[in-house]
Amino acid sequence: MIEIDDWENLLDMDAIAAPDDKLSECEYFIALASTETNVQKFRWLISAFLGAAYSFFEIFALGAHQRFMDPFSGAPVEDAQALDSLRRYVTVTLKSKRTLLFVKTGGSHPVTEQLYAIRRANTHHVPLSIMTAGPLLPEDFHFGHITGKGTPVLAFCREVMSLMYEAQQEVDG
């Protein structure tokens, strides 16, 4: 039987990701996508990027809801200022299932609205549609399937990254 006092010896601290891990994950996938000219492999990298970017906002919002601890009850206390800042980028709704708290986020900024729409379609409906819109790959890969109507993928992902950096800097101060 494990003693409660031994819990610290059981934790593998290297296995616990740093708070900015999702930001690093996004950087990793966009760096790989920035050199990938095979449309199928590019699509996979962008799909992974979209999932990590979505997760960044979800984890960030949950962290803001649990930023502080009530010293008497031990219950999590939200950081209202962090949530107000974060809500410039995403909607945030706190939910619970039994004793587990989680958040649901949605786009509230033009870039996050588009991020959430693309990610939702890719996750729940159809794989990403990515077309070649010119000879300079991967820069000329565009979201969509109608010539002349697509959105440049890497330019959009860079906008998402900029917004993530901005949000993190604003919330973390």
Nearest-10 Cα torsion for 109, 65, 23, 17: -170
Residue 57 predicted with pLDDT over 80: yes
Cβ–Cβ < 8 Å for 96, 85: no
Q: Say what percent of the chain tops pLDDT 70.
A: 86
- Residues 129-143: tens digit of each pLDDT: 999 999 999 999 999
Cβ–Cβ < 8 Å for 162, 170: no
φ/ψ of 60, rounded to 5, equals -60, -40
> Mean of the per-residue pLDDT values for the chain?
86
The span from the CA of 125 to the CA of 118, in Å, is 10
Say what the pTM is: 0.84
Going by C-alpha positions, the residue among 55, 82, 57 that lies closest to residue 68 is 82
Mean of the pLDDT values across residues 163-172? 91
The pLDDT value given to residue 5: 55
- Residues 82-111: tens digit of each pLDDT: 899 999 999 999 877 777 777 899 999 999
Residue 154 predicted with pLDDT over 90: yes
The pLDDT value given to residue 147: 84
Query: Which amino acid, 131?
Result: M
Mean of the pLDDT values across residues 56-77? 79
The pLDDT value given to residue 1: 47
Mean of the pLDDT values across residues 52-57? 94
Cβ–Cβ < 8 Å for 154, 140: no
The span from the CA of 153 to the CA of 140, in Å, is 8
Residue 65 predicted with pLDDT over 80: no
